[in-house]
Structure 1
Amino acid sequence: MYDSTFMLMVLIFSVTIIVMLWRPFNVNETVPTTIGAALVLLIGIVPLSDVLNIFSIVSGASLTIISTIMMSVVLESIGFFKIVAANIVNRSRGSGRRLYLYVILLCFMMTMFFNNDGSILITTPIIIHITSLLKLKNHQKIPYLLSGALIATAASAPIAVSNISNLIALKIVGLSLQDYIEMMFVPSMIGIFVIAILLFVYFKKDIPNKILEVSVKWKTQAQKYSYTHPLSSSGNEKEVDWGLIKACLAIVVLTRAAFFALTPFGIPLEVIGLTGAAILILVRWFRTQTGIVDIFKKTPWHILLFAFNMYVLVYGLKNVGLNDFIVAQFKDLIVGQPLNASLIMGLFLTAASNLFNNLPAVMIGTLSITEMGLDPHTLQIAYLANVIGSDIGALLTPVGTLATLIWMYILKTNGVSISWARYLRVTIVVVPIGLIVSLLSLYLWVELLF
Structure 2
Amino acid sequence: MRLAILGAVLLVLGGVAIATGILPLADAGALAERVWPILLFAVAITVVAELAAEAGVFAAVAERTARAAGGRAWLLWLFVVLLAVLSTAFLSLDTTAVLLTPVVVLVARHNGLPPLPFALTTAWLANTASLLLPVSNLTNLLALHALGFSDPGRFVALLAVPAAIAIIVPCLALLLLFRRDLARRFEPSSAPAVDDRALFWISAGVLLLLLPLLVTGIPVWMPACGAAIVLIVVFAVRRRGALRFGLLPWQLVLFAGGLFLVLEAGHSLGLTVLLAQVAGSGESPAALLRLSVSGMLGANAIDNLPAYLALEPVAGSPLRLAALLIGVNAGPLITPWASLATLLWHSRLQTLGVELRWSRYVLLGAVVAPVTVVLATLGLVLAR
Q: Specify if TM > 0.5.
A: yes
Offset of residue 282 of structure 1: 4.2
Letter in 1 for 2:184: N
Matches within 5 A, 1:202-217: 202-207=177-182, 209-216=184-191
Q: Which residue of 2 aligns with 1:316?
A: 265
Partner of residue 307 from structure 1, selected from 256, 263, 287: 256
Q: What is aligned with 2:176?
A: 201
Partner of 1:184: 159
Conservation of the 8 A alpha-carbon contact between 1:108 and 1:152:
yes
Q: CA deviation at 1:338?
A: 4.2
The answer for the alignment partner of 1:4 in structure 2 is: none
- After superposition, the Cα gap between the structure-2 partners of 1:409 and 1:77, relative to the gap in structure 1 and judged at 3 Å, is closer
Unaligned runs of 5+ in 2: none
Is residue 58–residue 307 contact of structure 1 (8 Å, CA) maintained in 2?
no
Which of the numbers 111, 120, 130 marks the counterpart of 2:107?
130
Distance 1:39 1:425, change over 3 A: closer
Matched, 1:417 2:366: no
Alignment of 1:83-98 (within 5 A): 83-98=60-75
Distance in 2 between residues matched to 1:360 and 1:100, nearest whole Å: 33
Partner of 1:429: 367
Counterpart residue number, 2:118: 144
1:258 aligns with 2:213: yes
Determine the structure 1 residue equivalent to 2:275: 326
* 8 Å contact kept, 1:59–1:304: no
CA distance in 2, matches of 1:212, 1:345: 48
Question: How far does the alpha carbon of each residue in 1:268-313 deviate from its partner, in whole angstroms, 9 at most, with x for none?
Answer: 321232123323444566xx54459616541213433322111112
Q: Deviations over 1:95-119 (max 9, x none)?
A: 2222222222222221122111111
Q: Which stretches of structure 1, 4 residues or longer, exceed 6 Å deviation after superposition? A: none
Matched with 1:15 is: none
Equivalent position SS for 2:180: coil
Instruction: Please state if 1:443 is matched with 2:375.
Output: no
The 3-state SS of whatever aligns with 2:337 is helix
Supply the AA of the counterpart residue of 2:131: A
* Cα offsets for 1:59-103 (capped at 9, x unmatched): 111111222112112212322122123213322332222222222
Distance change in 2, residues 1:281/1:209 (3 Å) = same
* Structure 2 equivalent of residue 270 of structure 1: 221
**Residues 320 and 262 of structure 1: is their aligned pair in 2 closer, same or farther, counting only changes over 3 Å?**
closer
The answer to whether the 8 Å contact 2:6/2:255 transfers is no
Task: Please give the secondary structure, in 1, of the residue aligned with 2:115.
Answer: helix
Which of 130, 143, 162 does residue 169 from structure 1 map onto?
143
Higher Rg of the two aligned structures:
1
Q: Which residue of 2 aligns with 1:219?
A: none
Match of 1:249? 204
CA distance in 1, matches of 2:3, 2:104: 25
CA distance in structure 2 between the aligned counterparts of 1:58 and 1:165, rounded to whole angstroms? 11
Paired with 2:254 and 2:153, the residues of 1 have a C-alpha distance of 28
Q: 1:417–1:295: structure 2 CA closer, same or farther, 3 Å change rule?
A: same
1:7: which partner in 2? Answer: none
1:401 alignment partner, one of 335, 339, 349: 339
CA distance in 1, matches of 2:153, 2:241: 33
Pick closer, same or farther for the CA change 1:410–1:343 going to 2, 3 Å. same
Match of 2:291 among 333, 341, 345: 345
Query: Any conservation in 2 of the 1:73–1:295 contact (CA below 8 Å)?
Result: no
Q: Which moved more, 1:386-395 or 1:204-213?
A: 204-213
Secondary structure of 1:396's counterpart equals coil
Is the CA contact 2:84–2:122 (under 8 Å) kept in the aligned structure 1?
yes
Cα distance between partner residues in 1 of 2:364 and 2:251: 33
Higher relative contact order (CA 8 A, sep 6+): 2
Q: Quick one: structure 1 residues 37 and 294, their matched pair in 2 at CA, closer, same or farther if it must change by over 3 Å?
A: same
> How far apart, CA to CA, are the structure 2 residues paired with 1:132 and 1:423?
21
Deviations 1:167-188 (A, max 9, x none): 1232234233331112112321
User: Does the aligned pair in 2 maintain the 1:389–1:435 contact within 8 Å?
Assistant: yes
Q: Deviations over 1:191-217 (max 9, x none)?
A: 21222122212221343512343134x
User: Helix, strand or coil: the match of 2:38?
Assistant: helix
* Aligned residue identity for 2:61: V
Counterparts of 2:357 and 2:251, CA distance in 1: 29
Q: Which residue of 2 aligns with 1:78?
A: 55
The residue number in structure 2 matching 1:46 is 23
Q: What value does the CA root-mean-square deviation take over the aligned residues?
A: 2.4
1:359 deviates by 0.5
The alpha carbon displacement at 1:189 in A equals 1.5
Aligned AA for 1:255?
L
- CA distance in 2 between counterparts of 1:340 and 1:312 reads 32
